[in-house]
Each structure stands twice: as structure tokens, then as C-alpha cells.
């Protein structure tokens, strides 16, 4: 079933996590005994289902602002029989205020807004918890010279992703590791 969701997402050009990235995330959840996860950017629920399937005591809250994708995710979560453990929120994540605390916040939404997502939700992170962000390489563009990137939009995104990387490096409340996996992943641990 999960393979069908993945295939359908790829056929419909819905961006989902790359294999290497999702395999890392799953091992990370297992190794660190992560139980409560907040995901920013559900798309059609592929990564939410993969994360919730790691163990029966995992709960995922995931936020999506695109209605068509959100509805597809609702359908997929139901089909995976995970409605009790995957809570989907249809809204712009920057308008969402939550009270619960999470072991892991996974940021995988608009790539130019990582700092805003980080700042909106870090109060929801448990002490010693992690914030993981995907696509820090943005399909290789982040490592290119800006002059060699034709698209103005992509140049803008690259500037914002680089700014986010600097933000993480300078943020002394967190210890951040940058991994060359998938499309580039950061793991920021909130210091105790
Ligand atoms: N995590 C998903 C997976 O691997 O299966 C893929 C998520 S996809 C890369 C990013 C999603 O974030 C898109 O579906 C997009 O509509 C959503 N998104 C972008 N900005 C958002 C925002 N401000 N609030 C909520 N969702 C947002």
C-alpha cells in the first residue's frame, strides 16, 4: 500500500522524501525512541505513514495547507488504518499554534520559510528533543554559484536556505549536525 502511495505521489509530481532521507528518518526514530512527532508539510501523508508505522506507540501530528493534498492524505491515513495515531491539520503552519510537546519536529514544507517554522514551533519541543529539516541542498542548487542559477525564484530560495543554515549554526540553544543524505538534512538537538 505504501508503495502505491509513493508511486502515485511521484506520478502526480507531489514532492515526497527521497528514499535515503526517509530511511534515515526511520532509523533515527527507532534509535532515539521517538514517540511524539510533529511534521510540517504532510503532502499526501507518505512520510507521516512511514514514521507512524515504525511502532504502535508513535503519534504523528502533521500540517498541510494544500486542500487537495490534505484530502488525499486523509484518505491514505484511513486506508493505512492510522487515524488513531496520525492527526492531520489543514492550515498554513504559520497560523497554527499548538500546546502539546513533541520529541521530534520534522520540517518539510515551504523551503524559504524554515526559520519561521522553526521559531513558530520550537516552544513545542521537549527538552532534549530534535528538529530535523529536509532539502537543505535543494536539488543541488544550494552548492551552486548564484550567478549560474537562471531562475530568479530558485536564487531567492537558495539565499533563504543558506540563511537558515547560518541560523542553525549560530543558534547556541541547539547542537546541529548537517548530513549529506538524500537532499541534505539537518538534525538540531535542543540542549538540556
Ligand atoms: N513530508 C512529505 C513526505 O515526504 O511525504 C512531503 C512534504 S512536501 C515536500 C511539502 C508540503 O508542504 C507540500 O505539500 C506543501 O503544500 C506543504 N506546505 C508548504 N508550505 C506550507 C505551510 N506554510 N503550511 C503547511 N503546509 C505547507
Check residue 21 and give its pLDDT.
94
CA of 42 to the centre of ligand 1 (A): 5
Nearest Cα residue to atom 26 of ligand 1? 64
Residues of the chain with pLDDT under 50: none
Q: Is 40 left (phi over 0), alpha (psi -120 to 50) or beta?
A: beta
Check residue 1 and give its pLDDT.
87
Check residue 19 and give its pLDDT.
93
Residues 103, 32: contact at Cβ < 8 Å? yes
Nearest Cα residue to atom 14 of ligand 1? 43
Check residue 192 and give its pLDDT.
82
* Residue for grid cell 484530502: 71
Check residue 160 and give its pLDDT.
98
Name residues whose C-beta falls within 8 Å of residue 133's C-beta, 6 or more positions apart in sequence.
106, 107, 108, 114, 118, 164, 168, 185, 186, 188
Residues 118, 160: contact at Cβ < 8 Å? no
Residues 69, 42: contact at Cβ < 8 Å? yes
CA of 110 to the centre of ligand 1 (A): 6
A 10 A CB-CB count for 111 gives: 22
> What whole-number distance in Å separates Cα of residue 184 and Cα of residue 108?
12
CA of 109 to the centre of ligand 1 (A): 4
State the closest ligand 1 atom to the C-alpha of 113, by its place in the atom list counted from 1.
23
Residues 121, 129: contact at Cβ < 8 Å? no
pTM here is 0.97
CA of 108 to the centre of ligand 1 (A): 6
Amino acid at each position: 500500500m505504501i508503495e502505491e502511495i509513493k508511486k502515485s505521489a511521484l506520478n502526480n509530481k507531489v514532492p515526497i522524501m527521497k528514499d535515503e532521507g526517509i530511511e534515515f528518518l526511520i532509523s533515527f526514530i527507532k534509535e532515539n525512541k521517538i514517540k511524539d512527532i510533529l511534521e510540517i508539510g504532510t503532502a499526501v501523508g507518505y512520510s507521516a505513514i512511514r514514521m507512524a508505522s515504525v511502532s504502535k506507540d508513535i503519534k504523528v501530528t502533521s500540517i498541510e495547507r494544500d486542500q487537495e493534498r490534505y484530502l488525499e492524505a486523509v484518505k491514505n491515513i484511513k486506508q493505512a488504518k492510522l487515524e488513531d495515531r496520525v492527526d492531520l491539520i489543514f492550515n498554513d503552519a504559520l497560523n497554527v499554534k499548538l500546546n502539546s510537546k513533541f520529541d521530534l519536529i520534522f520540517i518539510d514544507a515551504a523551503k524559504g520559510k524554515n526559520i519561521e517554522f522553526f521559531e513558530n514551533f520550537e516552544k513545542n519541543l521537549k527538552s532534549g528533543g530534535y528538529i530535523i529539516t529536509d532539502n537543505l541542498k535543494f536539488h543541488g542548487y544550494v552548492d551552486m554559484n548564484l550567478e549560474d542559477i537562471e531562475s530568479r525564484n530558485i536564487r531567492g530560495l537558495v539565499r533563504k536556505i543558506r540563511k537558515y543554515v547560518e541560523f542553525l549554526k549560530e543558534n547556541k540553544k541547539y547542537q546541529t549536525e548537517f548530513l549529506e543524505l538524500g537532499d541534505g538534512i539537518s538534525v538540531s538537538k535542543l540542549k538540556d
